[in-house]
Structure 1
């Protein structure tokens, strides 16, 4: 542990990790070099076969070395707040023990197809990127419990049908994208407890369905799968920004939850994020405030 802390401090004065130094740390289990000025990781990082935790967040990385796939013991990879434009195409083929992958606040346009081979993955955080598409074979992520692809804004316009085959998914956040239609397969996600879709111009399901609880949304989508005409529930008053704050979505404070709320809530009203960017609220959308490099793996 002392070595990890000292190593991170040492890198404050450099932009690279020497290849020879990495190759000598063969027994290293955790490597934390977050919040430095790294522009690249050495290829020799693939020699760290015992490495379980790697935190390279808060640097200037444009890519990760292909050799990272040889870190077969890796369980947590945090690469938040970099300048990543891509992940290695083969990253998912060898990292079979990876449980948490966090790449938020980068410039990723897509996720490699090989990511669907990460069968041990439990949490995937790819918010605040430029994702235009998600891989088709998401159902292979059989242990995934948390998926966050929110705030890709105008880039992400649709979700693959396979997203509804993530049978162990508990939390799904697709808020603040350009999605107009939720896949009908989401109706099959019986373990889902939280669905966040606010900030999308949704057309289907319709607003009167989205204003209800998660169970109603699932029933509507299931009826569509079965080809039966869904019954339109009585329309409730739409939720404005004040109610978003009340329900804690935007740091509205802690509160007790009743049974219906614990089952998940959906914010269907579409608003451009610019309309909320008044001096009063603009600080709430600061990535540094919402997503610190350390916060994701502290949960």
Structure 2
């Protein structure tokens, strides 16, 4: 399954959304109507639930109110996932409580995966930021040792050339490192979300074609692995719902592993801008001005 890309920072509130969805599932399973369940959540202090409860009281579609919950926050993408699951389950008559429990587990896994990736990326990203200051440290180090590095960089022709080249290399190193970090953090949304939606649709007893259409309306599409699961279900004569949910769980596990692998590879890839840009900039801004300063002093002495 494939869906729209979600910004990495949107994953930070996925745990809060998962907690709300899980509470909602418990209320629904206890026999509370959806409108009353949202009202209870709003009364408990859930800010996102207040707008949804108000929409339910006005008779507006709950799926639309859920999709627009959390405006101006990082949780908008997670609420859209909830709205898609709610819409599919309501359309096919699937048990809302069971569907929302599964979605809450998926959102919780997504949040934990994002946290693990952020923690794994923290050290190499911090090292890259620290090494980015190395050329500027070189200028201060030369001045601390008694060399007129700043005067050479702005007053000597070769020094000005070193300053320009060093500034360009420093800027290139920072942009290169930032691009590597973004690439390591990038992820194409909630893994397995489409399979979860398809499982919800099929649990309502609709046909596979109808389930596919509903999932497509929710913004997801089938991939080769999902087609294989459905073929296995037909050939083996077993329900596809549990197979799809197992596939979604496996997709979330793979996303977690792949995120940690990207973070591990980042440590070695950051050596490229360090060796190609940062160290040459250090030499141009630190070592070269000191040598020019010494040569200028010797020429004046002679």
TM-score higher than 0.5: no
Q: Structure 1 length as normaliser, TM-score?
A: 0.25
Higher relative contact order (CA 8 A, sep 6+): 2
Larger strand fraction of residues: 1
Larger helix fraction of residues: 2
Larger radius of gyration: 2
Q: Structure 2 length as normaliser, TM-score?
A: 0.25
